[in-house]
C-alpha cells in the first residue's frame, strides 16, 4: 500500500524556469508533509515542510502548496538553478510517527 506517491520519476527544466514537483497521498491522518532533497552518495536533506492546517509555505525560491481535499501537494522552485538538480522526495507523517516517503523525482535543471 503506497501511501505517498510521486508519479513522475523525472523532470527536466531549463535554468531560470519554474520546477513543479508533485506528490499525492492517500492517508487522511497525515498531518505534516515534508520535502527532502538528495544528492548521489549523500543522505537526504530537509528542504521545506508544511503543516496540514496550512495550504502554503514559502522559503526563498521554494514554495510548497497543500490541497487537502485533493490529497495533493506540490513543490515549486523558482527560478530553477543547475545546483537544484537532485532527487526530491515527498514525505508525510502523523504526530510521533515515522516518515512515509514517495519514490522520488529526479530533477535535472539544464543550463
Contacts to other proteins by CB under 8 A = 4, 6, 31-32, 36, 41-46, 49, 51, 89, 91, 93, 95-104
Cβ closest to other proteins, residue 17 vs residue 39: 39
Task: Tell me the closest approach of the beta carbon of residue 6 to other proteins, in angstroms.
Answer: 8
Task: Tell me the closest approach of the beta carbon of residue 41 to other proteins, in angstroms.
Answer: 7
Q: Which residue has the cell 530537509?
A: 46
Q: Which residue has the cell 503543516?
A: 51
**Euclidean distance between CA atoms 82 and 66, whole angstroms:** 26
Cα–Cα distances (Å) from 45 to 29, 37, 48, 111, in that order, read 24, 5, 10, 23
Task: Tell me the closest approach of the beta carbon of residue 79 to other proteins, in angstroms.
Answer: 25
C-alpha cell of 19? 520546477
Cβ closest to other proteins, residue 15 vs residue 62: 62
Amino acid at each position: 500500500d503506497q501511501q505517498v506517491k510521486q508519479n513522475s520519476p523525472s523532470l527536466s527544466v531549463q535554468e531560470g524556469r519554474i520546477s513543479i514537483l508533485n506528490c499525492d497521498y492517500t492517508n487522511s491522518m497525515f498531518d505534516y508533509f515534508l520535502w527532502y532533497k538528495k544528492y548521489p552518495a549523500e543522505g537526504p536533506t530537509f528542504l521545506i515542510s508544511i503543516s496540514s492546517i496550512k495550504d502554503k509555505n514559502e522559503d526563498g525560491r521554494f514554495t510548497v502548496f497543500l490541497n487537502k481535499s485533493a490529497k495533493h501537494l506540490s513543490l515549486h522552485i523558482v527560478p530553477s538553478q543547475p545546483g537544484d538538480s537532485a532527487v526530491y522526495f515527498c514525505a508525510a507523517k502523523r504526530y510521533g510517527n515515522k516518515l512515509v516517503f514517495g519514490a522520488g523525482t529526479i530533477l535535472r535543471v539544464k543550463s
